[in-house]
Amino acid sequence: SAVISQKPSRDICQRGTSLTIQCQVDSQVTMMFWYRQQPGQSLTLIATANQGSEATYESGFVIDKFPISRPNLTFSTLTVSNMSPEDSSIYLCSVTRGDYGYTFGSGTRLTVV
């Protein structure tokens, strides 16, 4: 299955600022997914990033807050904009496997102060 590199692994940010998270896959994939994992909560899908088209956002997530880029079949970025402490979470990118299910990156642990 694919190997995913995600950067940064963690960051502490000031409220009101933005952070861009990068996700690099070692093979070409059609769809990439961005998830949020809040403490004590399940993984929540933020959006699906397709190359060559706008990302598809899930209910409760909007492009102005979480803009996503997908410039090619191996790379995507997620920006968390105008951050508040409520955005403190782990953000994960993932891709589908050859059989079923997803392969996940190691995640970005974001703390907003």
Partner 1 sequence: QKEVEQDPGPLSVPEGAIVSLNCTYSNSAFQYFMWYRQYSRKGPELLMYTYSSGNKEDGRFTAQVDKSSKYISLFIRDSQPSDSATYLCAMSAGGDDKIIFGKGTRLHILP
Measured in whole angstroms, the distance separating CA 51 from the mean position of its chain's CA atoms is 15
Among 14, 59, 98, 100, binds partner 1 (CB under 8 A): 100
Name the segment binding partner 1 (CB under 8 A); options: 1-9, 13-21, 61-69, 74-82.
1-9
Q: Is 92 in the site for partner 1 (CB under 8 A)?
A: yes
- Report how many residues bind partner 1 under the rule CB under 8 A: 22
Q: Is 11 in the site for partner 1 (CB under 8 A)?
A: no
Token readout for 6 is: 């995600």
Q: Are 75 and 22 in contact (CB under 8 A)?
A: yes
Tally of residues, the chain: 113
CA atoms of 9 and 12, how far apart (whole Å): 11
Q: Is 14 in the site for partner 1 (CB under 8 A)?
A: no
